[in-house]
Amino acid sequence: MKKIDLMIFDFDGTLVDTGADLVQSINYTLRTLNLPERTEKEVISFVGDGVSKLMERALGKDHSGLQTAAMQIFSGYYAEHMLDNSVLYPGVKEVLENYRNKTKIILTNKRHHFTLRIAESLRIENYFTDIIGADSTPFMKPDHRVMDHVFSKYPSPKENAVVIGDGVNDVIIAQNAGVLSCALLNGLGNREDLLKLRADYYCEDIRELNSLFV
């Protein structure tokens, strides 16, 4: 088992299954704008680069001029409905409890206030030293400068830090920063894309972390 001092967790698709509420909120936005809805698979494939990119992809190039209006509609609706269906993945609390004494942070491309509210509602916020959202710094994953920010606040030997997430951005930012990467294959991210990146570790279930790190 590998000794780890700093655990950096993604949020959507890693700790919390937020997919259904994102799909619902995107399609509400599209309906309100009299645009055709997207399939669940399409919306999930758009997730990972922040809400602005999510909306840009959902609208498509032909409707890019509606971005501002769409963002307002989405933000208002999602604020009210982000917890309709979102739940912790099985085993999340078990893992967080196992690593209770480790420094753990959430690093996500989701907005900070959305992340915090969901984490509080699902009662996991106290497991984390910090939550760094898309609007917490000028940069987002996979920009390595986000990791510079992390290590300036939480100094740790890079060989004793790991990024855990279900998206390609999680693996890429770990590789760019010279830290370990652990890809979760049962989240919202594309499995084949993750496998191509050759992460340091792969897990089908988050509970497998308990046998990888100490």
The pair of three-digit structure tokens given for residue 92, joined into one six-digit string: 């999340």
With tokens 């050759």, the residue in question is: 198
Please state, in angstroms and rounded to a whole number, the distance separating the CA atoms of residues 169 and 175: 10
| DSSP notation for 38-107 | PPHHHHHHHTTS-HHHHHHHHH-GGGGGGHHHHHHHHHHHHHHHTTSS-EEPTTHHHHHHHTTTSEEEEE
Which of the following is catalytic: 5, 10, 84, 170? 10
> Residue 17: what are its φ and ψ, rounded to 5°?
-85, 95
Q: Examine the residue annotation and report whether 10 is marked as an active-site residue of this protein.
A: yes
* Close Cβ partners of 34 (under 8 Å, ≥ 6 residues apart): none
Beta carbons of 130 and 153 less than 8 angstroms apart: yes
37: DSSP letter = P
Give CA separation, 202 vs 7, 45, 66, 94, 147, in Å: 15, 20, 39, 18, 21
The pair of three-digit structure tokens given for residue 108, joined into one six-digit string: 């996500």
Enumerate the active-site residues.
Answer: 10
